[in-house]
A and B are shown apart, each in its own frame.
Chain A
Amino acid sequence: MRAGDRGAFEELCDRLGRRALALARRVLVDDAVAEEVLREAFLAVWRDPGAYDPASGSVRSWLMDLVHLRAVEAARSGPGRRRRPGEAPPLRASSGEEGAAGGGGPDPVRVALRALPDAEREALTLAYYGGYTQREVAALTGAPLGEVKSCVLAAVRRLHGELGAGPLGGALGSPAVAERPGR
């Protein structure tokens, strides 16, 4: 893509377009805005593919970060743009639902999410799928801000371990905290 290969760009759209649009639509209530978010994110990649740093993770996570950032900023730009909790469709049930190559088994991400303590799952999903700041999450859940931050970190740490992610030199790749709140 750095050489201006538009075929590579279109392949990237094919590979990650569904996931990226699903993310934007999860955050935003307006599909047209979600598509605009997607368009801007992909064009940012096309404009400057050299900005990708393998040391910072996969292309997938880089692109999803761009999409999520734009989606949450769009959601925060005005009232009524954010999809409210409870309005969003449920997570997909199996790993095979998204494409023909899927095996149809239980989606490991969904399984791992469901295994989280309620408080951790709620805090993480509000922040990521809902596009809320941690302070907003605290207001929504009634939990103290410090507890929300701890829950989010603990949830991400657990998922990192459960999903078998490799270490990238950060706090999540170190021996994990496994004590779950008693709830």
Chain B
Amino acid sequence: MSGSAPPRGEEHGALDELAVGWALHALEPEEETLFAAHLPGCSRCRGTVAETGEVLAALAGALPAAVPSDRLREALRAAAGDTMQVPGRPAPGAGVPDGASPGGASPGGDTGRPGPETVPTGFPEPFVPVAGRPAVPPTAWRRVLPNALVATAVAAILALGTWNVVLSTARDEARATVARQADVVNALLTPGRATVVPLSGDDGAPVATVVTRNGEVQVVNHGLPVNDPGEVTYVLWGTSDGAAVALGTFDVVSPRMDLQAVGSAATGLDEHDGYGISLEPGRLAPSAPTDIVARGEVTN
């Protein structure tokens, strides 16, 4: 490197730092939220993110080779066969070119350095079946909507009757996840007057949101751990005047955000002062909760 001139747009320095931190996935949630709102309208920051991405991709190339297993390759091939592609849309660019040749700027480059990437991998190790592996947590929902904001987002969806996730435009990956959550959004947009009650865990962090509407109760899970349906079940409780009534049971089968209707056969599901969720052994709700993992009060 050469020269000692100050960076262009010195007044932009703090945003440059945020742009690099964004590309590194190293920002705190509040910084991400702020920068995500700024990014779509700032060509300089979009450029900085892109330039940083090229540098980071080069850093990835400096790591010792890791050979994906045969089973992973087979799983990918099978999954591609089973996975529908997003229909054509007005693309921001050309999309992944056939043959997927990495293009654009490439620091360190594919041209300046003999390309290990051009060597087929072979994928020669055993693949661990999905069911036996630790779950990978959801990604884009937590990036686009930090956990603490999910309950607010649910309320906003219901209030506005539309979903304008501006932040999702900042991340391609978010689009895919947003698509996966379409069912949740559609369910939340069901007409009717709704009450939204965020439920928090012992540490105060929101983990679920109860939505009551037209005598029905839905639970939007965005932080409850996956439970083992063979051992335990979650129970939703309605609380009024210090008494708790079991409204229904449900399981969390995926760490991803999900919405479930609970207690379809009961009456008065939406007439409580508060709601709680407990984790109970077996498949049936006990007469009283034993281990409350989340609770919240109706505030309006």
| Chain A residues packing against B (C-beta within 8 Å) | 1-6, 8-26, 30, 32-40, 42-62, 64-70, 72-74, 77, 81, 89-92, 95-103, 107-110, 112-113, 127-129, 131-135, 137, 149-150, 152-153, 156-179
Asked whether A15 and B63 contact (CB < 8 A) given A1-B95, A133-B28, the answer is no
Asked whether A64 and B57 contact (CB < 8 A) given A21-B68, A57-B104, the answer is yes
Least Cβ–Cβ distance between B1 and chain A, in angstroms? 4
Q: Which residues of A contact B86 (CB under 8 A)?
A: 47-48, 50-51
Alpha-carbon gap, A90 to B130, bound state (A): 29
Cross-chain contact A170 with B50 (CB below 8 angstroms): yes
Q: Which residues of A contact B112 (CB under 8 A)?
A: 108, 164
Q: Which residues of B contact A64 (CB under 8 A)?
A: 53, 56-57, 60
Least Cβ–Cβ distance between B257 and chain A, in angstroms? 14
**Residues of chain B from 14 to 72 with CB closer than 8 A to chain A in the complex:** 16-17, 19-21, 23-28, 43-69, 72
Q: Which residues of B contact A107 (CB under 8 A)?
A: 62
Cross-chain contact A47 with B85 (CB below 8 angstroms): yes
Cross-chain contact A53 with B92 (CB below 8 angstroms): yes
| Chain B residues packing against A (C-beta within 8 Å) | 1-9, 12-13, 16-17, 19-21, 23-28, 43-69, 72-73, 75-77, 79-81, 83-86, 88-89, 91-110, 112-121, 123, 127-128, 130, 132-134, 136-139, 142-143, 172-173, 175-176, 179, 255
Instruction: Return the contact of A35 from the options B68, B80, B117 (Cβ within 8 A).
Output: B68
Alpha-carbon gap, A65 to B112, bound state (A): 22
Sort A-B residue pairs by CB-CB distance and give the 9 closest, nearest first. Answer: A170-B47, A169-B47, A170-B48, A98-B116, A165-B107, A163-B107, A99-B119, A174-B8, A99-B116
Cross-chain contact A35 with B128 (CB below 8 angstroms): yes
What secondary structure prevails in chain A residues at the interface with B?
helix
Asked whether A57 and B50 contact (CB < 8 A) given A15-B102, A16-B117, A159-B55, the answer is yes
Alpha-carbon gap, A176 to B133, bound state (A): 45
Cross-chain contact B7 with A53 (CB below 8 angstroms): no
Q: A8-B98, A57-B105 are in contact. List 14 more A-B contacts (CB 8 A).
A: A2-B85, A8-B100, A9-B76, A9-B80, A17-B68, A17-B123, A33-B133, A51-B92, A67-B60, A68-B56, A161-B1, A171-B7, A172-B51, A176-B2
Q: Which residues of A contact B8 (CB under 8 A)?
A: 171, 174-175
Alpha-carbon gap, A112 to B27, bound state (A): 24
Cross-chain contact A57 with B95 (CB below 8 angstroms): no
Cross-chain contact A18 with B20 (CB below 8 angstroms): no
Q: Which residues of B contact A173 (CB under 8 A)?
A: 47, 51
Instruction: Return the contact of A158 from the options B1, B59, B97, B134 (Cβ within 8 A).
Output: B1
Q: Which residues of A contact B118 (CB under 8 A)?
A: 15, 99, 101
Q: Which residues of A contact B49 (CB under 8 A)?
A: 56, 170
Cross-chain contact B128 with A32 (CB below 8 angstroms): yes
Of chain B, the residue at the smallest CB distance from A15 is B117
Cross-chain contact B60 with A19 (CB below 8 angstroms): yes
Asked whether A100 and B119 contact (CB < 8 A) given A43-B76, A109-B62, the answer is yes
Instruction: Return the contact of B54 from the options A34, A160, A176 (Cβ within 8 A).
Output: A160
Least Cβ–Cβ distance between B214 and chain A, in angstroms? 35
Query: Can you list 12 A-B contacts (CB < 8 A)?
Result: A8-B100, A17-B121, A18-B65, A37-B136, A38-B68, A60-B57, A61-B102, A109-B59, A109-B62, A134-B24, A170-B46, A171-B9
Cross-chain contact B67 with A36 (CB below 8 angstroms): no
Cross-chain contact B54 with A58 (CB below 8 angstroms): yes
